[in-house]
Structure 1
Amino acid sequence: MSGLLEGQVALVTGAGGGIGRGIATRFAEEGAAVVLHCRTGVDAADEVARRIRGLGGRALVLRADLTDEDACRRLVAGAAEWGGGRLTALVNNAGVQPTRELAGMTVAQWRAVVDTNLSSVFACTQAAVEVMRGQDGGGSVTHIASIEASHPAPLHAHYSASKAAVVMHARAAALEYGCLGIRVNTVSPGLIDRDGLGEAWPEGVRRWRAAAPVGRLGRPQDVGDACVFLASGLASWITGHDLVVDGGMSARAAW
């Protein structure tokens, strides 16, 4: 690896899931010390942390319910304390993607998705900025959005709306935090492969592979590569940008 993130301290939320594990692994491979957040996927996060340590890297697992604003602040504070008072990169990856018809959706069901996917991004970013603004070099924040922020799918109204708001939050935060040396961007993945996806949704996977210009599903490390780039010095003049990582699917005509 090239050591693009050597000396950085990064916090990756939702690191117990497939995409989060891929992001955390790629950050560690590029030299960052990584804090892996999880809510329920403790065993998975611990496994990634052990793998990182086995390769000579530094990793810590912290649990938190990110629908609780105070928990978000404690998580960021714990990550910075472990990092010797520093936090140079935050990746807001934690999220949920339930399916439900819009017509029968309750406000509670709507809020459950918005609080997890959007409000946690706001709270974690706000807490991270308080650490980053006082350190040399500032820092970077990357939100994991989705191509559904601009291309909604049936039964995903709450998810798509939350991800569209995440993209706009990043743009607004980039505008206000740029003077502090803090860059804020989003990565919008397409369909990312995971264990059992082909069996659970064979027709959808087949259609994606047939339609995608590169002819395959995404991999967690594809999202991780994009996040590494945005957190690195190679992206020092990039902020307020949405980096789409979907194998070219968004370039296809819908007619």
Structure 2
Amino acid sequence: MNERLHGKTALVTGSTSNIGRAIATRFAASGAHVVVSGRDVERGEAVVAAIRRDGGRADFVRADLDGSAAASRALAEAARRLLGGRIDVLVNNAGIFPASDTSTTDEETFDRVYAVNVKAPFFLTQAIAPMMAAAGGGVIVNLGSWVARQGLSVGTLYSSTKGALETLTRAWSSEFADAGIRVNAVAPGVIRTPDLASDEEYPGEAFMVGTPAGRAGHPDAIAAAALYLASDDAAFVHGTVLDVDGGRIGVAVVAEEAA
């Protein structure tokens, strides 16, 4: 077992599936006591059970992060109690991606996406940062996205929320530095959900044609990056957005000619 987070405590939002689940599992395998959080009790308890079977420490807190300060405060307090009075690492991972473009997005959808993707992590950070400061410091890892900096004709609303979270990453890094809190972000590229069958087609693969990786990534790649940022190995890393995207953003993509 890797012990890079030995003795640490962590709250990972949206960790009942996919990237969040991978992060929670990796943190627990690295020695952290993890609070798994999400809306689905059955999936959350399954993640906790798997972590415990592998010798890790984890608990589940059901939370519907609807963007209200009250919901974020409730999760922060529940996690604090389960983690023995302190939260060393917060991972703001929870988010939603509606299937709509600008012309089909109504006001209700707009407000809901910003509530979950921006307001919820904002107020959760507002609740947890003072706890970290009182304990002498901590780490916040946000989840951005490659689409925050690459213009696409789909997912406009989602892209803007991830851009907001990446901006908050830099602002919080400055705001909380004197309290000993490091703030960084991971920007995933196209990530294939591990729940798909190996032979099941994944539409996102088309975005990776011509990239250095040439294929979609796995949630474990994002978990590894989050672990690095959460650990003391990244003690000199502040206000950074770490692209883990198979080269999608940083390298020119050359389209292949049709046969």
Following superposition, the deviation at residue 210 of structure 1 comes to 3.1
**Conserved 8 A contact 2:11-2:79:** yes
Superposed CA offset, 1:95-140 (max 9, x none) = 001121202322221111111111111011111102101113x100
* CA distance in 2: counterparts of 1:18 and 1:56, whole angstroms: 21
Q: Map of 1:1-255 to 2, 5 A cutoff?
A: 1-39=1-39, 41-67=40-66, 68-136=68-136, 138-194=137-193, 195-196=195-196, 202-205=202-205, 207-253=206-252
* CA distance in 2: counterparts of 1:106 and 1:124, whole angstroms: 26
**Conserved 8 A contact 2:190-2:204:** no
- Structure 2: stretches of 5+ with no match in the other structure: 255-259
Following superposition, the deviation at residue 221 of structure 1 comes to 1.0
| Secondary structure of 1:103 counterpart | helix
* CA distance in 1: counterparts of 2:200 and 2:123, whole angstroms: 34
Superposed CA offset, 1:206-254 (max 9, x none) = x245323123321111111111111100111211110000011212325
| Secondary structure of 2:134 counterpart | coil
* CA distance in 2: counterparts of 1:96 and 1:54, whole angstroms: 30
- Structure 1: stretches of 5+ with no match in the other structure: none
Superposed CA offset, 1:38-62 (max 9, x none) = 11x3222211111111122211100
Following superposition, the deviation at residue 66 of structure 1 comes to 0.9
**Conserved 8 A contact 2:210-2:253:** no
With the length of structure 2 as denominator, give the TM-score of the two structures: 0.92
Q: Which amino acid aligns with 2:210?
A: A
* CA distance in 2: counterparts of 1:26 and 1:140, whole angstroms: 16
* CA distance in 2: counterparts of 1:251 and 1:75, whole angstroms: 36
The aligned counterpart of 2:257 is none
* CA distance in 1: counterparts of 2:166 and 2:145, whole angstroms: 9
* CA distance in 2: counterparts of 1:147 and 1:50, whole angstroms: 32
Superposed CA offset, 1:52-110 (max 9, x none) = 11122211100111113211111111111111111100000000011212023222211
* CA distance in 2: counterparts of 1:145 and 1:201, whole angstroms: 25
Superposed CA offset, 1:142-192 (max 9, x none) = 111100110132231110000000000111111110000001111100011
* CA distance in 1: counterparts of 2:217 and 2:197, whole angstroms: 12
Aligned length: 252
With the length of structure 1 as denominator, give the TM-score of the two structures: 0.93
When residues 118 and 200 of structure 1 are mapped into structure 2, their CA distance, relative to the original with a 3 A threshold, is farther
* CA distance in 2: counterparts of 1:55 and 1:199, whole angstroms: 28
When residues 148 and 35 of structure 1 are mapped into structure 2, their CA distance, relative to the original with a 3 A threshold, is same
When residues 133 and 108 of structure 1 are mapped into structure 2, their CA distance, relative to the original with a 3 A threshold, is same
Q: Which moved more, 1:123-132 or 1:159-168?
A: 123-132
Aligned identity (percent) is 37
**Regions of 4+ moved over 3 Å:** 196-204
Q: Which moved more, 1:89-98 or 1:76-85?
A: 76-85
**CA RMSD across the alignment:** 1.7
When residues 54 and 200 of structure 1 are mapped into structure 2, their CA distance, relative to the original with a 3 A threshold, is closer
